Amino acid sequence: MIKTLIRGTGRYVPERLVTNDDLSKKMETSDEWIRQRTGIEQRYWVPEGGETGASDLGLEASKIALERAGWKPEDLDFIIFATLSPDIFFPGSGCLLQHKLGLSSTPALDIRQQCTGFIYGLATADAYIRSGMARRVLLVGSEVHSTGLDVTTRGRDVAVIFGDGAAAVCLEAVETDEPVGVLASLLFAEGKHAASLMLEAPASRITPERITHEMLDEGRHYPKMNGKLIFKLAVTRLPELTLQIMEKAGLTSLDEIDLIIPHQANLRINQFYQETLKIPEGKIYNNIQKYGNTTAATIPLALDEVIEQGRFKKGDTALFLGLGAGVTWGANIYRHAEVLPSR
């Protein structure tokens, strides 16, 4: 059977460190409020001035992942780029990254699944690989949030949460009957909650010109969030989702999972989740304290860190899961392994 294995990972965050105290100089907020309500201590944002898009951060992460996989860009036969903050409205950041990697015809697919972007991306890559449509896939999650945040008191509930960053994984088809690689994926969406976390404008549905001066004045080009609703959905659905995907993967106990990487939207969400399922300390990995919420980059960024720290070894089983705008939610179970490529 064809299975999907991770061959290399890489991460990249921009150099500009923004602390909670830095934000409190721009809006009415405080280090205490941000830490208590979210767990976030700092985040990295792209430099002011210049042009750094999601594909630029993605490029740096991709170069590291490719090097660790021992691949050249030419070895790729598919690119999947997950972002809610594309460099430009169109074409997709995957196409921009493809060019920056020096490639000329490798297909590139953008996906717009926000906080579950990596989870949807891994499920998509796995489906392409298992169907024989691709053998070597580069999956990138990358976000430049900072240029789209309302960094005033009006936008403080959203602005303090998000950080910029990127991470990439190299995925390869292997032929094996061992239970390794992507063991299961489960994806959900509920569009009725779309307005609960959305960036409304500019948008094609707004006539005559996608955005008006009044909308700009009202700040409708910034993301708006019903934080309480998203919080509630996350703390109820993530435990349910865990049991659902374990069943799908044929796992009967949480003891069979060595590592859980939940999306990093709010440390309190992950603490509720941990308490609900009575997950032992040390099995969940959180890094929101350092990066804030980097949306599609979050899970691969954490994955790259745990691999680097030796906390996710060959033979270990990991659960990736999250919920975010859409709303979308989903999970993957992945067993790390060393299996030789089948070509």
Check binding of 71 to ligand UT7 (CB under 6 A): no
Which of 245, 252, 251, 238 has its CA nearest to residue 284? 238
Residue nearest to ligand UT7 (CB): 227
Of residues 31, 41, 150, 157, which one binds ligand UT7 by CB under 6 A? 157
Of residues 6, 111, 230, 318, which one binds ligand UT7 by CB under 6 A? 230
Helix (H, G, I), strand (E, B) or coil at 299: helix
| Beta bridge partners of residue 81, listed in sequence order | 110, 140
Of residues 120, 231, 273, 320, which one binds ligand UT7 by CB under 6 A? 231
Q: Kindly report the length of the chain.
A: 343
> Per CB under 6 A, which of residues 282..301 are in contact with ligand UT7?
293
Of residues 19, 22, 31, 33, which one binds ligand UT7 by CB under 6 A? 33
Instruction: State the nearest-atom distance from the C-beta of 218 to ligand UT7, in Å.
Output: 18
| Beta bridge partners of residue 323, listed in sequence order | 329
C-alpha–C-alpha distance, residues 115 and 121, integer Å = 11
Total residues binding ligand UT7 (CB under 6 A): 19
Of residues 37, 63, 248, 283, which one binds ligand UT7 by CB under 6 A? 37
**Candidate segments 137-145, 152-160, 177-185, 186-194, binder of ligand UT7 by CB under 6 A:** 152-160
Of 20, 95, 115, 145, catalytic: 115
Which of 242, 263, 137, 249 has its CA nearest to residue 182? 249
Which of 65, 56, 55 has its CA nearest to residue 9? 65
* Residue 263 known to be catalytic: yes
The CB-based long-range contact list for 268-276 (8 Å cut-off, 24+ gap) reads: 268/37, 268/38, 268/39, 268/231, 269/231, 269/234, 269/235, 269/238, 272/235, 273/234, 273/235, 273/238, 273/239, 276/235, 276/239
> Per CB under 6 A, which of residues 190..229 are in contact with ligand UT7?
197, 227-228
- Tokens 């990138």 sit on residue: 140
| Beta bridge partners of residue 224, listed in sequence order | 198
Of 266, 293, 332, 336, catalytic: 293
C-alpha–C-alpha distance, residues 81 and 71, integer Å = 18
C-alpha–C-alpha distance, residues 198 and 193, integer Å = 9
Check binding of 265 to ligand UT7 (CB under 6 A): yes
Instruction: State the nearest-atom distance from the C-beta of 197 to ligand UT7, in Å.
Output: 6
Check binding of 93 to ligand UT7 (CB under 6 A): no
Of residues 171, 234, 297, 302, which one binds ligand UT7 by CB under 6 A? 234
* Residue 170 known to be catalytic: no
* Residue 115 known to be catalytic: yes
- Count Cβ atoms below 10 Å from residue 325 Cβ, excluding itself: 22
Of residues 160, 238, 259, 303, which one binds ligand UT7 by CB under 6 A? 160
Which of 12, 93, 88, 117 has its CA nearest to residue 57? 12
**Candidate segments 72-80, 168-176, 230-238, 305-313, binder of ligand UT7 by CB under 6 A:** 230-238
Catalytic residues: 115, 263, 293
Q: Interface residues with ligand UT7 (CB under 6 A)?
A: 29, 33, 37-38, 115, 156-157, 160, 197, 227-228, 230-231, 234, 265-266, 269, 293, 324
